[in-house]
Amino acid sequence: MTASKQELDELALTEAEYATIVERLGREPNALELGLFGSLWSEHCGYKHSKPLLRMLPGDSPRVMVGLGKENAGVVDIGDGFAIVMKIESHNHPSAIEPYQGAATGIGGIVRVIFTMGARP
């Protein structure tokens, strides 16, 4: 199966990513495999667009309590026994269809991660 540009666009895969898939498999992917790569290499699962940008942020500082890649959220000491916990949520569905429910899903993920790290408001 040779994928068309439209099929790749629907899966948010680039032509370069498709070439990588073909190279890794040693053949053209079937429809199921292509769908799996599209999902696994998506922003939601792999942070393919934001990860390079996040890597540009400084990660070493005496104030960084939990740095890049250590947990699902970062923690920065702001003094006087306080810290800021930051989390980016990748849920983008159903935001486009149901903005309020989509936002609630995203916020729920952020709150879950921050609380399970032991942070409290």
8, 36, 44, 109: which one is catalytic? 44
Told to judge if 91 belongs to the known catalytic residues of this protein, a careful annotator would answer yes
How many angstroms separate the CA atoms of 46 and 43, rounded?
Answer: 5
Told to judge if 49 belongs to the known catalytic residues of this protein, a careful annotator would answer no
- The per-residue b/e assignment along 1-36, b for 16 or more CB within 10 angstroms, e otherwise, is eebeeebbeebebeeebbeebeeeeeeebeeeebee
83, 91, 110, 113: which one is catalytic? 91
Whether the Cβ atoms of residue 88 and residue 50 lie closer than 8 Å to each other: yes
**Catalytic positions, written as ranges:** 44, 91
